[in-house]
Structure 1
Amino acid sequence: MGRLALTLACGDYDRTRALEDGSIRPDGIDLTYLRLPVEETFFRMLRHREFDVAEMSLSTYVATLDAETPPFVALPVFTSRMFRHGGIYLNADAGIEKPSDLCGKRVGNPEFQLTAGVWIRGILAEHHGVPLDSVTYVSGGQESPGRIEKGRVETPFRMETAPPDRTLADMLANGEIDALYTPRVPSPFQRRDSRVKRLFPDVVGAERAYFAETGIFPIMHVVVIRRDVYERHRWVAQSLYKAFVAARDDAYGRIYDSSALRFMTPWLIQEIEQARDLLGADYWSYGVRANQHVLATFLRYHHEQGLSRRLREPEAIFAPESLESFVI
């Protein structure tokens, strides 16, 4: 019996590089790694189930669990994590000087169900006095008009759709919306347009303070296995999980090398040391145990925002084979 051939659609990450170049191979699996932009991967996997294994938005995955037969099974592998205080942009003339000033405003969201948006809305509601129902949400394409939700979204909040010929980035700069919650830096801000600014000018300071208060380093993406593949070959969950952990550990070692910087960040080594000091040595942790509070908080936010019908426990959303390991 030969090795099982599987396709994996995933982004371009240091923590998955060893899987892409084949230096780490999952037990019993020949992996074809398709390096794709995250939005394309999510869309193709959700709409057409094109891949055997894929990176997926945590929010999208949790929403799929409401289906009578959920189409995917997730591994507690977090290919993307990111603090999101820096993803809140304002029109400079909107009269917003502090987070609570967002109440009563019109706020753009490229898609309401985006994981970054779930975290931003939850953090603002829980820590900054911006109740979920205190703003009007406007959805649409950030840089190209006409973007639609990848999946059906019904929420109890005031929702509008951007005009079909307008982008949220332009609407923000022109004052047609007061703020924008987004994972991507909007083009007016990239151009240093004075009409657009961030809610938190000291993003790093705000995010460090948030971690010190909560212990949360937000999770953005998980890895999912198509359910039909998982049901035929239950062993692939443990095999893939072990390989992703090994690739992540390989990246830990490679990035902390001061002989020559791997990325074009002048103080990379010092920033890694600062991250370890604040977040701990395993600052990009996988698994449920180390991320119980992070996952429970996200699942609560997701449910409160009307994106999942019931509140789930972290262990219940992952393949059980990936939560246990053999110990000698």
Structure 2
Amino acid sequence: MAPLKLSLACWDYDRVKALEDGRVKPEGIELNFLNLRVEETFFRQLRYKEFDVSELSLSSYVLTLNSDDPPFFALPVFPSRFFRHQSIYVNTKAGITHPSQLAGRPVGTPEFQMTAPVWQRGILEDEYGLAYDAPHYFTGNVEPSNVERKEKIPLNLAESVKIQSIPAGKCLAQMLADGEIVALESATAPSTFGKHPDVGRLFPNAMEVEKDYFKRTGIFPIMHVIAVKRSLLKEHPWVARSLTKAFNESMQYAYDAIHERGALRYILPWMQFHVEETQAAMTSGNNADERWWEDGLTAQNRRTLDKFLEYSYKQGLAKKQWKVEELFVPGSLESFVV
């Protein structure tokens, strides 16, 4: 039987590189790997459903479940994770010394439904007492553009949420530098960070704050999932297990690469020490092969997803507080059992 030809849109992360270059081949599938940045993938998939399989924002994916006929089903594969304390920026002249001081103040965010700001709002509420609806939000392009940025998925938020979109031609990066907004909750760093004297991080010691957060909560925030068209799965249900297994195999290549000691595979001269530091901070430290970034429904991933689903529902995005198992293709979780 000829292999099933499928398109996969995903950025070329180290953990998927073996899928892109063919070292890992999903059983029964001929994969056309499309190396696209996430912004393009998300727009094209959510708006036009162009790809059989794609990387997808966790928040946007959860919002697709609000539909009576959801278009996608996720695999328990998490190509992007990120501690997001480091991605909250402030105008240093605004006098913000504690997150609670953002209440009632103008705060920028590219899209309210973006995964990164959902995490950031939830963490600031849980950890620092800033209610998610306390700031006055301004949404739009982080950098200059002639096209107005809009939410990728229509929202139906509580009246207490104050949101104002900025027009094309304005950008949040410059608004932050000029003091029009006092903070920016984002995924990407604004271009004014590191270049403008009045733009800094809300948490100057972000790495220490994030390590402490992980130590206390066990949460390593999940940003993206791998989503498959439900129409494809109805016709070829075996695809879910085949792809999930292949992503897991590709992850092993990434771990092998960062532990290579014969020569530097990456342009980081102290790579090994960074690996050791990460291992000490995020694993038990008793096993050099222990992973800190794992797919599947491990106890850590379940805890992380439960918390995100709580935030999504509380912030008025998800129509209900979904259970973790409801996010994923039935049977795909078993692919990680050896």
TM-score, normalized by length of structure 2? 0.94
Give the 3-state SS of the residue equivalent to 1:216 in structure 2: coil
Q: CA deviation at 1:161?
A: 1.1
Name which of 219, 224, 240 aligns with 1:221.
Answer: 224
**Contact persistence 2:5–2:32 (CA under 8 A):** yes
Map of 1:175 onto structure 2:
179
Map of 2:243 onto structure 1:
240
Identity of aligned residues (%): 48
Map of 1:151 onto structure 2:
153
More off after superposition, 50-59 vs 287-296: 287-296
Any stretches of 5+ residues in structure 2 without a counterpart?
A: 284-289
Q: CA deviation at 1:144?
A: 2.6
**Contact persistence 1:83–1:218 (CA under 8 A):** yes
Map of 1:138 onto structure 2:
138
CA RMSD of aligned residues (A): 1.3
Q: Deviations over 1:10-66 (max 9, x none)?
A: 001110000000011001000010000100001001111111000000000000001
Amino acid at match of 1:158: K
Q: Deviations over 1:203-253 (max 9, x none)?
A: 100100100110100000000001111111000000000000000011111
Q: CA deviation at 1:327?
A: 6.6
Tell me how many residue pairs correspond in the alignment.
327
Amino acid at match of 2:178: N
Give the 3-state SS of the residue equivalent to 1:132 in structure 2: coil
Query: What pairs with 1:1-328 in structure 2 (closer than 5 Å)?
Result: 1-145=1-145, 146-156=148-158, 157-191=161-195, 193-280=196-283, 281-290=290-299, 291-325=301-335
Q: Deviations over 1:92-124 (max 9, x none)?
A: 111201111111211000011110001000000
Q: Distance in 1 between matches of 2:52 and 2:332?
A: 17
**Contact persistence 1:235–1:321 (CA under 8 A):** no
Q: Distance in 2 between matches of 1:64 and 1:74?
A: 11
Give the 3-state SS of the residue equivalent to 1:188 in structure 2: coil
**Contact persistence 1:256–1:269 (CA under 8 A):** yes
Are the structure 2 counterparts of residues 60 and 327 from structure 1 closer, same or farther at C-alpha, using a change threshold of 3 Å?
closer
Q: Distance in 1 between matches of 2:101 and 2:336?
A: 52
**Contact persistence 2:9–2:53 (CA under 8 A):** yes
More off after superposition, 144-153 vs 69-78: 144-153
TM-score, normalized by length of structure 1? 0.97
Q: Distance in 2 between matches of 1:42 and 1:22?
A: 24
Are the structure 2 counterparts of residues 214 and 47 from structure 1 closer, same or farther at C-alpha, using a change threshold of 3 Å?
same
Give the 3-state SS of the residue equivalent to 1:79 in structure 2: coil
More off after superposition, 47-56 vs 316-325: 316-325
